[in-house]
Amino acid sequence: MIKVRNIHKAFGDNPILRGIDLDIAKGEVVVILGPSGSGKTTFLRCLNALEMPEQGTISFENAAPLHIDFARHPAKKDILALRRKSGMVFQNYNLFPHKTALENVMEGPVQVQGKSVQQAQTEALELLNKVGLTDKATLYPFQLSGGQQQRVGIARALALQPELMLFDEPTSALDPELVQDVLDTMKALTKEGWTMVVVTHEIKFALDVADLVIVMDGGVIVEQGSPQQLFDNPQHERTKAFLQRLRAH
């Protein structure tokens, strides 16, 4: 179980998150929806301290427990421990342009975890096979389509064997014909029991795989529930308005 409590984040005088609470069970898929500027991506980045909240706590309650209280200015070692527990997949891939697909996936295990090059290479090839890119291992990012680069990004995040996978609108930068391959890869991960938090506008993906859907607006969670409950019978007016706009789009 991962417990998030009272997360606040502001940029200057502009409050972005106004007290977010969320429980994430092991193996659960949480999808975050909401209009632009609602705080979705900022919240996702707070979960692994890419953005540092001013207050709030994040707790991993498992065999290797971790509790971070941001109001107490956590130590660097605790922030690093938090980041090692999560893998992030970004909108725009963020691959190293001078490294091959294989080298991109190997980088974290070698540099962060201290694995041997041989072990990291073996595991990276297995992960590239998992995301359907075995034949692209020696290619550089510029030689790959956007969808292929994103799947390399997923393999790279998986390589650190995180407890939590974070996806920041992973299909938003892709041409429409490339979206499905990435969504299929993510669906396969849900079947393997990965714990995931996904910021997306893909309603069908949320319906197919989410255990919990939350809708954010104005830096707060305005509604949450199962996909069927939230899409078929939203209770909050802001949820209804957002879903109408999303469906029209």
Tens of pLDDT, residue by residue over 146-155, are 999 999 999 9
Task: Read off the pLDDT of each residue in 123-149 and give the average, rounded to a whole number.
Answer: 95
The span from the CA of 248 to the CA of 183, in Å, is 21
Residue 215: name the closest of 226, 205, 204 by CA.
226
pLDDT score, position 146:
93
* Residues 91 and 172 sit within 8 Å (Cβ to Cβ): yes
Task: Name the one residue in this structure whose structure tokens are 């922030």.
Answer: 79
Could you report how far apart the first and last alpha carbons of the chain are, in Å?
A: 35
pLDDT score, position 109:
92
Is 0.85 topped by the overall pTM? yes
Q: What tokens appear for 82 in the block?
A: 């938090």
Q: What tokens appear for 94 in the block?
A: 């963020």
Above 90 in pLDDT, residue 1?
no
Main-chain phi, psi angles of 234, to 5 degrees = -65, 145
Element (H, E) at 239: helix 237-248
pLDDT score, position 93:
85
Query: Which residue type is seen at 10?
Result: A
Q: What is the pLDDT of residues 153-190, one digit of tens each?
A: 999 999 999 999 999 999 888 888 888 899 999 999 99
The span from the CA of 2 to the CA of 124, in Å, is 27
Q: What tokens appear for 230 in the block?
A: 């939230």
Confidence of residue 145 (pLDDT cuts 50, 70, 90): very high
In the chain, the percentage of residues whose pLDDT exceeds 90 is 72
Query: Which residue type is seen at 133?
Result: L
Above 90 in pLDDT, residue 244?
no
Task: Read off the pLDDT of each residue in 86-95 and give the average, rounded to a whole number.
Answer: 90
Residue 161 vs residues 44, 117, 135: alpha-carbon distances, Å: 18, 17, 23
3-state helix, strand, coil in the chain (%, to 5): 40, 25, 35
pLDDT score, position 213:
95
pLDDT score, position 158:
95
Burial label for 25, CB within 10 Å (0-12, 13-18, 19+), is exposed
Q: CB 156: neighbour CB atoms within 10 A?
A: 27
Ramachandran region, residue 193 (left: φ > 0; alpha: ψ -120 to 50; beta: rest): left
Within the chain, all domains assigned CATH 3.40.50.300 are found at: 1-85+163-175+191-249
The architecture that CATH gives domain 1-85+163-175+191-249 is 3-Layer(aba) Sandwich (3.40)
Higher per-residue confidence, 202 vs 56: 56
Confidence of residue 242 (pLDDT cuts 50, 70, 90): confident
Ramachandran region, residue 97 (left: φ > 0; alpha: ψ -120 to 50; beta: rest): alpha
Mean pLDDT of the chain: 92
Higher per-residue confidence, 247 vs 6: 6
The span from the CA of 35 to the CA of 201, in Å, is 9
DSSP letter at 139 equals -
The span from the CA of 27 to the CA of 122, in Å, is 26
Q: What is the pLDDT of residues 63-76, one digit of tens each?
A: 678 999 999 999 99
In the chain, the percentage of residues whose pLDDT exceeds 70 is 99
Above 70 in pLDDT, residue 249?
no
Q: CB 248: neighbour CB atoms within 10 A?
A: 6
